[in-house]
Structure formats: structure tokens, C-alpha cells
């Protein structure tokens, strides 16, 4: 059904359609609308979900762990400071191999306090062991939220679904939603997994020097191989509903001389700018990493080999040579550039995309730069 | 070579838990002197941290020396019935 | 003397729920507390346990051994209450959908560190939301597991590794946090202070707690022979004298009404407890100019008990 909806409402709607067992959440800008609308569904009896309104994000994620360990289908949402607060428990959720999904409305972490989009929050959890998928628009968020439930229950790895704070969380777009019957049937009956109510299990025990390495190795291996399951679920989604998703998106990369790598909603303007330049026969391409963890380094390496790549980072890794994405892409090509942009929600629209690409097409650029700094501020 | 299974996240199923014997911790060992006296004080079974003082049908049966750490709480509680002897 | 309750049954069920093989210090009463609570889980119910990082957790669940016969989860230090909140709601959700036929009792075990300090937020949230959970605090007045550091529940002037007695200090300078008052402020159906040395009273309180729906709280005295430095066989004696001196009064708060369970005609002087509880108070017995700690502590104990009596009279 064609619907005008923003990212937050789309997530909440998707969850309403599949009626999970438990939701444990805490409000934080820009995800508050998710839990507000979901709470309204609960109040109106549209779902039978047990809604835990936790007293902090740390407790919200802890309750998610408890719920999943008790065999319940559970979801939550957070951003920014909240994600940073629950980081300890994110590691625990991944280490315990519990299925759950979390939607993140990307918002930078302070100080100084900020409300708008950058990826410093979800990048903080890169090493935690969660599957991370970045979405570029509301349609993708809606679809990925449903797919994430299936992925997490298949792989027993928790899944984080990212959307840009304000751009996608609050920006309304026309999307195609499934019927509740379709959504429920796609996500399927909850499979049974080892849980505390059906079996007698000790979770979260100590694993000392004699066993910790093996547990971690298995976790690492399973996360790396989870892209097979991710592709499988996405293939099934495409077959049923005609929308195709991969581990990344690419436009004009095959014969491109220069490829711009950008994630999230920024990709939309980069792709538009590249399409314009293609019409003028400029050999530019663009690539959007979608599944960021597990990082599809083999496939990306093959795509980008021999090309000049400009990696656009919406986050900073203070003290490192490049931005966080830059560090992961730097060896994929001999000619590599890194641009940090859009920090704290600094506008990066079509004008900026055209400007940046033309700068790279026409002149020699520094290997690493901040784009979009204000000329009128004395820093 | 027989391999030991380690579950996801090192979780432990209760029925697959491996026994860990703590009897080797002892420096002193409790010895029952007066079984009739001991029978009157079933709560001593709860006071033993290792549940090593075994009562069956409300009567003292035996001390499980596999786990007894020799703490002496039992002998201190019921000096008439149990005595600690050096190992 | 054996009490009115079926101790055999409690011991057997307790042993099934929490068996031997844990690495608690020799002479530790934590297993006694855990076994007694789980042993009192009513017939037809299975216990599901959440434990905070601390003495209990690191000694009883080390791969490949678990002392817990039922399901048990350890999440992190501060979130044993919120983890259990998730489990409890999951149970309600799954039961609604017809997935679960069994009945459970949800019990949290945490030390004073994981309750009064770092765990206070999660506990408060859980109590406020009204989950059907029994929260058992085993209070040994310090972070015993990591080496006897001071906590918010460490009593005044106790010697701990982070509030050590020294040339400029006489131990912990602050008074103990009154966790029972904090819990009482959440308007829960039942809270009680108990002592394993008073087994009948303890079991009565556990049974009462299990009979209520909603959040329940038990604050249980836990003498730590390693942390407080007293002989390992004396754990029972130290626990007994704590209540005989009114250092650890036994009372309940049922629906907001206070009731003192154990009233002594004449309590022993607190000096008896301070002497018996070992090295942590040894410095109080060394004469020092302008330092009259025992009288000060006695005054405080008397005042606290008077406040309890006043609260009990008002009900």
C-alpha cells in the first residue's frame, strides 16, 4: 500500500504489523516517535506486546537481553548518547548470541551536545559483534526492519538497523508498505531458540582463559559468515515483494575512473550528482555500503580495485590517520581519498555533492580533508 | 581425540554442567560425634555452605566429603555433635 | 532448634536449585541465603534467577560448571534487576500466546555493590514499574568479590581497602545508605530485613514475599569472613550477634506498614558485634584522643531502632 510516512513511523508500523512479544525502550531524539507511536499501538490494543518503559537505555537493552534469553521476540530503538550508554550491554547481547533488533536513528555523540545526524554513535558499536545495516531512505528502513527480524532469528546475532537522524527519521517519503498478513508471513513464526523458560540454562557465566578465545573465535566466524543468511533473507524478500537489496549499492562503478563511497541518505545526492555527470560522459561512479558489519571486504575489494576512490566519512576517528570508514577502505585501491563531512548534521545536499565531486574531477585534492567548514567562523 | 563441546557464548545447560569438587580445600575435617543430637538440628544442613551435611527423611545421613571445605560452621554451631579434626 | 517449616524439603529443593561445587570462600553464607530462598519457592513453580556480578556470580557459574540447577542469567554488574524485568515481561507475553505452561518465580540475587551503588537505578526502575520479581540483597557491607572495597552500604567507620584506616582516617567517614527506606519509597507490597542466623524468621519472610504479586525486596545480612577478617567457622555467631545488638534489626514493611519482628528486652551493647565481626573494626578498640567511636555508633543504632519503633507504632 502506498503510504506517506517518515522513518520513525515506518519502523513502528512494521513492528506493529508483526506484533513482537516485548519492546523495551527509552526515549531519545531522534527516535522518540518510534516508541511514542508504538506505545499508542499498545494502548489501543493494536498489538499485544509487553511494553517495558525502562528508566535508561542501559536498562532497556538489559531488559531486551533478559527477554530474548527467555525466548521472546524483542526490539528496541536508540541513538547517540543512549547507544553510548548501553555499549557495555551491546557487547553482552552479541556475546550471549541472543536474537534481537535495534533501530538506530543516527545522531552524533556529544560533547558539545548535538541533535543531528552523524555516525559517531553506530560506529562506536562496530566492534561489538552486532550485524549493522545502514539504510538510505524510508522504504529501505521499513523493509530492512522486517528483514532484520528474520536475519537475527536465523543467525542468533543481534541486528542494528541504522537510519539518518532527522533526514530519514523525520523526513516523510512515499513508500510501499506490506499488508500485516504479508509482513507476518514473511517474518514467519518465531523459531524456537535455547531459552531460560523452556530449558534450564545458565547465561552470561564466566569463561576464563581456558575457554574465552574459542567463544570469541566462534562469534567472529559466525558474524563473518552471516552475510550468507543476510543475502538469503534479502533474496526471499525480493522474490516475494520485488525489492532488491544487496550487501551494498553501486552505480556506474564498473567502468568508472573515480568512485565516491558514501552511506545513508547522503548516497541519494551523490548518486544524483553522478548521474548528472554521466550524462556529460564523465566516468564517475558511486557506491553505498549497506551491510557494514560483517564488512563485505572481499566483494568491495573486487569492485573498487584499480579505481580512484573518495570515501566519505560522516564520523571522525580522533587520532587516527583517516576517518573510520577511511581506515577500512584505505587499502582497497592505490588511489584513495578520504573526506569527513556532515558532522553534527552539517548540511550535505545536492549542491554540496556537485561541488565536492567537481573539486575532485578538476583538481588535486588532499588525501584527507574536512569538507564544509564555515569560512566565517574563526576557529 | 574426544572433544568437549562449548556452546554459543559459553552458555551452560544445567544437565551438562561439570561437577567441581571442593573437598581438597580442607585443612580440617568435620567428624560426627553424636548423631542423635545432630538429628534435632536439621537447620544445620542449610547452614552448611556446600550442602555437604546430608539429611534424609529428616534424619542425618552422612557428610559429603567431596565438597566439604572444612569451614567449621557446623562444629561451631553444634559443638556437642560435630568436632573438627586436623586433616 | 528445627523450625516449624519443613527444613528437609527446603534443603532438598534448595540443593537442586543451587548445588555444591561453587568457589565461594570457605565459611561464606551466600550459598545458605541462595539455597534457603530458592528452597522456599512454592510447589509447582520453578525458579528463574538473575544474578549481579559479585561473589555469587563469579564463584558459581564458571564454565563448564554451573551451581544453578534451574535457569540463571548474569548480564552485568548493575542490571540484574532490569534483566529480570525483561525476563518477567517475556514470560507474561509468551504465556499470553500460549507458549508457556510452566509457572515460574523470578528471583534476583545481588550484593550491596550491585544494589545500593551501581545497581540502584535498575532496582528503582524495576520497583517503580511493578514487576513480579523478588529481589534479594545479600549485604556484606563492601565490594567483597573485588577485594573488600567500600560501598554505599559499608557501615560507618568500617575498615575497607578504599576507606582504610590510616594516619588521617578512621575508616569510612560516611554513614551507611538506608536501602530499606529507599525501597520503601517505591510503595511496593513487601520489603523486609532478614538474617540467615534467624532461620525461622528468614523463611517466614521469604514465604510471605513469594505470596505477594509485584516487586518484593529482602535485605539479608551476610557476614563476610574474608572481608571482615573473622575466623571462617564463626559466620553464624557474627550474624547472630548483629541482630542481638540491634545492629541489624529484623523488620518488615508490608504495604507501607512497619513491623518489628524481633524485639529484645535488652539488646547487647554494639561493642559485642564490633568485636565479633573481626578486623574491620579492630581500630575502634585502640585508644585515640578525641575519638569515641563506639559510643557514637551505639547512639546511632539506638536512634535508628527508635525511628523503626516510631514507624511501627504509627501503623
Task: Encode pLDDT of A29-38 as tens digits.
Answer: 999 999 999 9
Cβ atoms A202, B9 nearer than 8 A? no
3-class secondary structure per residue, A352-373: HHHHHHHHHHHCCCCCEEECCC
CATH architecture of A248-370: 3-Layer(aba) Sandwich (3.40)
| Residues C20-79: tens digit of each pLDDT | 999 999 999 999 999 999 999 999 999 999 999 999 999 999 999 999 999 999 999 999
Contact C17, C69 (CB under 8 A): yes
Residues of chain A with pLDDT under 50: none
Contacts with B, A 162-221, CB within 8 Å: 194, 199-205, 207, 211-212, 214-215, 218-219
Cβ within 8 Å, pair A218-B11: no
Q: What is the pLDDT of residues C263-279, one digit of tens each?
A: 999 999 999 999 999 89
Chain B residues within an 8 Å CB radius of C194: none
Cβ within 8 Å, pair B11-A95: no
Contacts of B13 in chain A (CB under 8 A): 194, 199-201
Spatial contact of C201 and C193, defined as CB atoms under 8 Å apart: no
**Cβ neighbours of B41 in C, within 8 Å:** 1-2
pLDDT of residue C288: 85
Strand partners, A266: none
Q: How many CB pairs under 8 A join A and C?
A: 163
Dihedral, CA of residue A266, residue A268, residue A269 and residue A271, to nearest 10: 120
The enclosing domain of C241 has a CATH number of: 3.40.50.970
- Tell whether the model's pLDDT for residue C1 goes beyond 70: no
CATH number for the domain formed by residue range(s) A2-241:
3.40.50.970
pLDDT of amino acid A183: 97
Dump pLDDT digits (tens) for C203-224: 999 999 999 999 999 999 999 9
Determine the 3-state secondary structure of A132 from DSSP.
Answer: strand
**How far apart (Å, rounded) are the C-alpha atoms in residues A102 and A105?**
10
Mean pLDDT of all residues in B11-17: 95
Distances (CA, A) of C251 to A128, C184, C270: 45, 12, 18
pLDDT for residue C2: 42
Substitution target from A39, A64, A66 for chain C, most C beta carbons within 10 A: A66
C-alpha–C-alpha distance, residues C55 and C35, integer Å: 15
Give pLDDT, residue C289: 86
- Residue A15 three-state SS: helix
pLDDT band, very low/low/confident/very high, at C4 (cuts 50, 70, 90): low
B36 touches chain C (CB under 8 A): no
In this prediction, what percent of chain C has a pLDDT beyond 70?
A: 99
Q: What is the pLDDT of residues C135-191, one digit of tens each?
A: 999 999 999 999 999 999 999 999 999 999 999 999 999 999 999 999 999 999 999
Instruction: Summarize pLDDT for C292-314 with one digit per residue, the tens.
Output: 899 999 999 999 999 999 999 98
Residue C237 has pLDDT above 70, yes or no: yes
| Interface contact flag, B72 C233, Cβ < 8 Å | yes
DSSP secondary-structure letter at B9? G
How close, in Å, is residue B18 to chain A by CA atoms? 13
Cα gap C130→C122, rounded to integer Å:
12
**Cα angle: A146, vertex A147, A151; to 5 degrees:** 130
Q: Which of C11, C68, C235 sits opposite B45 (nearest CB)?
A: C11
The whole-angstrom distance between C272's CA and the closest CA on chain A is 39
- Are the beta carbons of B11 and A212 separated by less than 8 Å? no
Contacts of A337 (CB under 8 A, 6+ apart): A308, A309, A310, A311, A360, A365, A366, A367, A368
Nearest-CB residue to C75 (from A60, A204, A206)? A204
d(CA A201, CA B11): 7
Using alpha carbons, list the distances in angstroms from residue C80 to A89, A191, A196, A307, B72. Answer: 12, 26, 15, 52, 32
Q: Supply φ then ψ for residue C268, to 5 degrees.
A: -70, 155
Tell me, what's the pLDDT at C98? 96
- C71:A72 CB<8 A: no
Coil, helix or strand at residue A89: helix
Determine which helix (DSSP H) or strand (DSSP E) holds A258, and give its type and residue range.
strand A258-261
Is residue C268 less than 8 Å (CB to CB) from chain A?
Answer: no
Please answer yes or no on whether A67 and C86 come within 8 Å at the CB atom. Answer: yes
Kindly state whether B65 is in contact with chain C, defined as any CB-CB distance less than 8 angstroms. no
Mutation test of the interface with chain C: which of B11, B14, B40, B54, choosing the one with the most C Cβ atoms within 10 A?
A: B14
d(CA C84, CA C49): 8
Asked if C84 is an interface residue toward chain A (Cβ–Cβ < 8 A), one would say yes
Q: Do C61 and A204 touch (CB under 8 A)?
A: yes
Q: Which of C64, C67, C233 is opposite residue B76, by nearest beta carbon?
A: C233
Number of structural domains (chain C) is 1
Q: Give the pLDDT confidence score for residue B87 in this predicted structure.
A: 81
Contact criterion met (CB below 8 Å) for A17 and A73: no
A212·B10 Cβ contact <8 A: yes
> Higher confidence at residue C1 or residue C225?
C225
Tell whether C261 lies on the interface with A, counting CB pairs under 8 A.
no
pLDDT at position A276, please?
96
| In contact, C18 and C60? CB cutoff 8 Å | yes
Between positions 41 and 60 of C, the ones with CB within 8 A of A are 48, 50, 57-58
pLDDT (tens digit, 9 = 90+) per residue, B24-81?
999 999 999 999 999 999 999 999 999 999 999 999 999 999 999 999 999 999 999 9
C95-117 CB burial, b ≥16 within 10 A, e <16: eeeebbeeebbbbbbbbbbbbbb
For A215, which residue in chain B has the nearest alpha carbon? Answer: B9
- Rounded CA separation C210/C202 (Å): 12
Q: Minimal CA–CA distance to A273: which of A355, A340, A372, A343?
A: A355
pLDDT of A342-366, one tens digit each? Answer: 999 999 999 999 999 999 999 899 9
Amino acid at each position: 500500500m502506498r503510504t506517506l510516512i517518515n522513518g520513525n513511523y515506518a519502523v513502528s508500523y512494521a513492528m506493529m504489523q508483526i506484533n513482537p512479544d516485548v519492546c523495551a525502550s527509552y526515549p531519545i531524539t531522534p527516535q522518540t516517535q518510534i516508541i511514542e507511536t508504538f506505545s499508542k499501538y499498545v494502548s489501543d490494543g493494536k498489538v499485544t506486546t509487553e511494553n517495558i518503559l525502562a528508566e535508561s537505555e542501559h536498562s532497556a537493552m538489559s531488559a531486551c537481553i533478559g527477554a530474548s534469553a527467555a525466548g521472546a521476540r524483542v526490539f528496541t530503538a536508540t541513538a547517540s548518547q543512549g547507544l553510548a550508554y548501553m555499549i557495555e550491554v551491546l557487547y553482552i547481547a552479541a556475546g550471549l548470541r541472543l536474537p534481537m533488533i535495534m533501530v538506530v536513528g543516527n545522531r552524533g555523540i556529544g560533547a558539545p551536545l548535538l541533535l543531528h545526524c552523524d555516525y559517531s554513535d553506530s560506529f562506536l558499536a562496530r566492534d561489538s559483534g552486532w550485524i549493522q545495516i545502514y539504510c538510505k531512505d524510508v522504504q529501505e528502513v521499513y523493509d530492512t526492519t522486517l528483514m532484520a527480524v528474520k536475519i537475527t532469528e536465523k543467525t542468533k546475532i543481534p541486528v542494528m538497523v541504522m537510519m539518518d537522524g532527522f533526514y530519514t527519521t523525520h523526513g516523510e517519503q512515499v513508500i510501499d508498505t506490506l499488508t500485516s498478513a504479508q509482513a507476518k508471513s514473511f517474518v514467519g513464526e518465531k523459531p524456537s531458540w535455547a531459552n531460560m523458560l523452556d530449558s534450564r540454562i545458565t547465561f552470561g557465566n564466566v569463561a576464563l582463559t581456558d575457554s574465552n578465545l574459542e567463544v570469541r573465535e566462534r562469534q567472529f566466524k559466525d558474524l563473518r559468515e552471516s552475510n550468507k543468511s543476510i543475502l538469503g533473507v534479502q533474496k526471499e524478500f525480493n522474490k516475494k515483494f520485488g525489492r532488491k537489496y544487496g550487501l551494498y549499492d553501486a552505480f556506474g562503478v564498473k567502468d568508472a575512473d573515480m568512485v565516491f563511497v558514501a552511506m545513508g541518505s547522503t548516497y541519494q545526492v551523490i548518486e544524483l550528482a553522478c548521474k548528472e555527470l554521466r550524462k556529460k560522459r564523465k566516468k564517475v561512479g558511486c557506491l553505498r555500503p549497506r551491510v557494514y558489519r560483517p564488512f563485505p571486504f572481499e566483494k568491495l575489494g573486487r569492485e573498487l580495485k584499480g579505481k580512484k576512490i573518495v570515501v566519505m566519512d560522516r564520523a571522525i576517528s580522533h587520532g587516527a590517520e583517516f576517518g573510520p570508514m577511511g581506515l577500512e577502505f584505505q587499502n582497497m585501491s592505490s588511489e584513495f581519498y578520504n573526506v569527513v563531512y556532515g558532522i553534527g548534521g552539517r548540511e550535505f545536499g545536492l549542491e554540496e555533492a556537485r561541488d565536492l565531486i567537481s573539486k575532485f574531477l578538476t583538481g588535486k585534492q588532499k588525501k584527507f580533508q574536512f569538507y564544509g567548514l564555515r569560512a566565517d567562523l574563526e576557529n | 581425540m574426544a572433544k568437549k563441546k562449548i556452546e554459543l557464548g559459553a552458555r551452560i545447560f544445567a544437565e551438562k554442567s561439570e561437577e567441581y569438587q571442593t573437598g581438597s580445600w580442607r585443612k580440617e575435617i568435620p567428624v560426627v560425634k553424636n548423631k542423635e543430637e545432630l538429628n534435632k538440628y536439621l537447620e544445620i544442613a542449610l547452614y552448611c555452605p556446600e550442602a555437604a551435611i546430608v539429611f534424609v527423611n529428616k534424619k542425618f545421613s552422612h557428610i559429603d566429603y567431596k565438597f566439604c571445605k572444612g569451614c567449621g560452621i557446623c562444629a561451631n554451631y553444634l559443638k556437642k555433635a560435630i568436632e573438627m579434626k586436623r586433616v | 532448634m528445627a523450625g516449624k517449616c519443613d527444613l528437609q524439603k527446603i534443603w532438598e529443593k534448595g540443593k537442586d536449585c543451587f548445588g555444591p561445587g561453587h568457589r565461594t570462600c570457605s565459611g561464606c553464607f551466600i550459598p545458605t541465603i541462595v539455597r534457603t530462598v530458592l528452597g522456599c519457592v512454592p510447589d509447582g513453580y520453578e525458579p528463574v534467577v538473575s544474578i549481579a556480578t559479585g561473589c555469587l556470580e563469579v564463584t558459581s557459574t564458571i564454565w563448564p560448571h554451573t551451581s544453578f540447577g534451574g535457569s540463571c542469567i548474569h548480564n552485568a554488574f548493575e542490571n540484574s534487576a532490569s534483566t529480570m524485568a525483561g525476563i518477567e515481561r517475556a514470560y507474561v507475553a509468551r504465556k499470553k500466546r500460549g507458549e508457556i505452561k510452566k509457572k515460574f518465580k523470578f528471583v534476583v540475587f545481588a550484593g550491596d555493590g550491585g544494589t545500593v551503588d551501581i545497581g540502584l537505578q535498575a532496582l528503582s526502575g524495576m520497583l517503580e514499574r511493578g514487576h513480579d520479581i523478588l529481589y534479594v540483597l545479600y549485604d556484606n557491607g563492601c565490594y567483597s568479590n573485588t577485594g573488600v572495597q567500600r560501598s554505599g552500604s559499608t557501615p560507618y567507620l568500617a575498615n575497607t581497602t578504599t576507606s582504610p584506616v590510616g594516619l588521617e582516617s578512621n575508616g569510612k567517614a560516611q554513614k551507611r545508605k538506608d536501602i530499606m527506606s529507599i525501597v520503601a519509597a517505591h510503595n511496593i507490597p513487601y520489603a523486609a530485613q532478614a538474617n540467615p542466623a534467624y532461620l525461622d524468621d528468614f523463611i517466614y519472610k521469604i514465604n510471605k514475599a513469594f505470596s505477594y504479586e509485584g516487586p518484593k525486596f529482602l535485605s539479608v545480612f551476610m557476614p563476610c569472613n574474608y572481608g571482615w577478617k573473622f575466623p571462617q567457622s564463626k559466620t553464624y555467631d557474627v550474624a547472630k550477634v548483629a541482630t542481638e545488638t540491634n545492629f541489624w534489626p529484623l523488620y518488615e514493611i508490608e504495604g507501607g506498614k512497619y513491623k518489628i519482628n524481633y524485639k529484645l528486652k535488652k539488646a547487647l551493647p554494639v561493642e559485642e558485634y564490633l568485636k565479633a565481626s573481626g578486623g574491620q573494626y579492630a581500630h575502634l578498640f585502640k585508644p585515640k584522643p578525641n575519638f569515641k567511636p563506639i559510643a557514637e555508633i551505639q547512639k546511632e543504632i539506638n536512634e535508628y531502632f527508635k525511628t523503626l519503633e516510631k514507624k511501627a507504632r504509627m501503623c
